Amino acid sequence: MKNTKKCPKCNSLAISRKRGSPVLNSWCRISINLTSLDVWISKFICTECGYVEEWIENENDLKKFKERSQ
């Protein structure tokens, strides 16, 4: 949904994006190799069927995740 702007389940174009931020308290703690990493998670929600995708959009968070998971 993030890239296609279309729901993969029902093909709706009615997609809402809730960006990860401290205000929305939308972070996730991921355990990697016995350590933890806090990252902001953005949600893409189909307002027709309710399908949800979660993405790490922040490039720095994604880079940290990649480095720790190797």
Count the Cβ atoms, other than its own, within 10 Å of residue 68: 14
**pLDDT band of 64, cuts 50, 70, 90:** confident
Is-contact 52 44, C-beta < 8 A? yes
Mean pLDDT value of segment 2-29: 82
Closest CA to 57 of 38, 42, 68: 42
Global pTM value: 0.73
Judged by DSSP in three states, 25 sits in coil
